[in-house]
Amino acid sequence: MPVVSVSLMNLPGTEAAVGWAGGHCLIADRPEGKAGGMGLGFNGAQLLALAIGGCFCNDLRHVAHRRGAAIASVAVKVHLTLEGEPLIATGADIAVQCALEDGSDPQALIDEARDGSMVGCSLPRGIPVRVSAGQGG
134 within domain boundaries: no
137 within domain boundaries: no
Would you put residue 109 in left (φ > 0), alpha (ψ -120 to 50) or beta?
A: alpha
135 within domain boundaries: no
Q: Domain check: are 91 and 65 in the same one?
A: yes
Domain of residue 5 covers 1-42
* Cα 132 from chain centre: 24
- The dihedral built from the CA positions of residue 119, 123, 125 and 129, taken in this order, carries a sign that is positive
Q: Domain check: are 24 and 48 in the same one?
A: no
Band of residue 118 on the pLDDT scale cut at 50, 70, 90: very high
Q: Domain check: are 72 and 99 in the same one?
A: yes
pLDDT higher for 137 or 97?
Answer: 97
Q: Domain check: are 38 and 59 in the same one?
A: no
Distances (CA, A) of 26 to 19, 55, 57: 5, 16, 19
> For 85-112, what is each residue's pLDDT tens digit?
999 999 999 999 999 999 999 999 999 9
CATH number for position 120: 3.30.300.20
Q: Domain check: are 75 and 26 in the same one?
A: no
d(CA 41, CA 46): 9
Q: Look at residue 136 in the predicted model and tell me its pLDDT.
A: 58
Distances (CA, A) of 115 to 1, 51, 55, 124, 126: 21, 16, 12, 12, 16
Band of residue 137 on the pLDDT scale cut at 50, 70, 90: low
Q: Domain check: are 27 and 93 in the same one?
A: no
Residue 43: partners with Cβ closer than 8 Å, 6 or more residues away: 28, 29, 30, 31, 37
How many structural domains are present in the chain? 2
Q: Domain check: are 58 and 78 in the same one?
A: yes
Q: Domain check: are 29 and 54 in the same one?
A: no
